[in-house]
Structures are given as structure tokens and as C-alpha cells.
Amino acid sequence: MFFGNYGLYFLISIPALLLGLYAQSKVQSAYKKYSQIRISNGMTGAEVARKVLDANNLRNVRIEQVRGTLSDHYDPRKKVLRLSQSVYGTPSIAAAGVAAHEAGHAIQHKEKYGPLSLRSIMVPSVQIGSWLGPIIFMGGLLLAMDNLAIIGLFLFGATSLFAIVTIPVELDASKRAKDVLSSAGIVYGSELNGVSAVLDAAALTYVAGAVQALSTLLYYILLFFGGRRRR
């Protein structure tokens, strides 16, 4: 019975899971370390974001404070940049890096950066596919209806594709952040290494997310062909 194939599932998913845990611990330790190191120019995350946005003619993008840790994000529909409390009001190296990264997403939005547009188009199908895909797929396997299982595979596959498209979007936002922080003179010398440590660790969590989505897809594909062989 394919649902009992836990050995195969663990074999495929454990490397991705370990990478995810490693990336999480790395981003948390880098964030903690550089949140405690004061930026020499004394600017808070909110001030950094405002400066980067204004320099890119994005005065219409508002900056708000949001609850949580590492909950920072840019909302393209409302054109609001939301920064977590410790980024918003803290003049730290980590805050500058995160704030400039989120401002980078706003710049991507303004410039209609290809991968970001693709990602936005995919959102509705991913919201459905992430939960409906596995249900349809398992239903197809149970009922031995190959076409149904394949529809489920494609629906879930959209989720994996979304996770892959997310990687260039995040890397590009971080690259923009590092460039603008040094060119605008917001961070100096070795401070940029701290910014890189935080942003590179964050990027690794997105790589881990894509690896996890792909490994789950691979597991489904193996189940599908395994199920067919037994018939």
C-alpha cells in the first residue's frame, strides 16, 4: 500500500528537512548577532527604507510597523512596506539589511521585474494547488484514476515552481539592497559583511523551501509510478 511507504518518504525528505533546519538556525543566529551591532550612521531600519525608497522615486510607498520577528515584507497591492518592530526602530546592521531588502522588492515592483511579475501571476493557482493538489493526487491513486492523479501532480507542481521562482526574486532584492547600502553610503566597510551574512542566510531559507517542495513532488511522482507498476 503506497500510503505506508514512509521509508521512501523519509529518504527523500530528510535531506531537504535538514537543509531547512540549517538555514533557519543560520538566519536566526546571523540576525541575532547583527541586530545587536549598531550601525555607525545611526539610522533605524525605517529611516534606511525611506531613504532607499525616496532615492528610487517611491515616495508613494508607505512604511508601517508590523508585529513579530522577521515578519518584514512588501505588500505590492497596497504599496506598503511593513517592517517588524526590531527592524523599524532599531539602528542596527541587521535592520538596515532587512529594510533595504524589502525596499528592493518595492523597486522590483516598480520596474516590473520579470520573476516578481511571474510570481504574482502564480499566487492564485498556488493557493489552491498547495492543498487541493495533494488531495486530488491521493484520490487519483486510491481510485486508480491516472488522469486525476496527474491533475493533482500538476496542481502541486505549481507550488514547487513557485518556490523556485521565489529564489531569483529574493536574490535580486538582496543584491539591490547591498548595492544601494554601499553606494548611498548607508553602511561602511565591514558593516557590509554583516548585511551580507544576514541576507545570504535568508536566501538559503528560500533555497531550502524550493528543495523541500521539489522533494515532495519527487515523492508523489515515485508513488504514482510505483502505483502503476503494481497494477
- Whichever of 33 and 73 has its CB closer to Zn ion, that residue is 73
- Whichever of 8 and 171 has its CB closer to Zn ion, that residue is 171
Q: Looking at 47, 102, 170, 191, which residue is catalytic?
A: 102
Which residues are CB-neighbours of 55 under 8 A, at least 6 positions away? 180, 184
- φ/ψ of residue 83, rounded to 5: -115, 140
Piece in contact with Zn ion (CB under 5 A), picked from 16-24, 160-168, 169-177, 183-191 = 169-177
Q: Shortest Cβ distance from residue 143 to Zn ion (Å)?
A: 41
Piece in contact with Zn ion (CB under 5 A), picked from 10-18, 84-92, 170-178, 220-228 = 170-178
Number of residues lying near Zn ion (CB under 5 A): 2
Q: Shortest Cβ distance from residue 19 to Zn ion (Å)?
A: 19
Q: Shortest Cβ distance from residue 170 to Zn ion (Å)?
A: 5
**Residues facing 75 on adjacent strands:** 80
Assigned C-alpha cell, 228: 502503476
- Whichever of 47 and 170 has its CB closer to Zn ion, that residue is 170
Positive or negative, the CA dihedral 109, 110, 114, 117 is positive
Residues 171-230 within binding reach of Zn ion (CB under 5 A) = 173
Strands 73-75 and 80-84: antiparallel
Q: Locate cell 536566501: which residue?
A: 203
Q: Shortest Cβ distance from residue 68 to Zn ion (Å)?
A: 15
64 labelled catalytic: no
Residue 75, classed as helix, strand or coil, is strand
- Whichever of 33 and 175 has its CB closer to Zn ion, that residue is 175
Q: Shortest Cβ distance from residue 85 to Zn ion (Å)?
A: 18
Piece in contact with Zn ion (CB under 5 A), picked from 40-48, 84-92, 148-156, 167-175 = 167-175
Tell me the C-alpha to C-alpha distance, in Å, between residue 127 and each of 122, 132, 139, 162.
Answer: 9, 9, 19, 10
Residues 123-162 within binding reach of Zn ion (CB under 5 A) = none
Nearest in space to 74 (alpha carbons), one of 87, 57, 88, 62: 62
Residue 2 per-residue DSSP state: G
- Whichever of 122 and 138 has its CB closer to Zn ion, that residue is 122
DSSP state letters, 11-69: HHHHHHHHHHHHHHHHHHHHHHHHHSSBPTT---HHHHHHHHHHHTT-TT-EEEEESSS
Binding site for Zn ion (CB under 5 A): 170, 173
The residues annotated with a catalytic role in the active site are 102
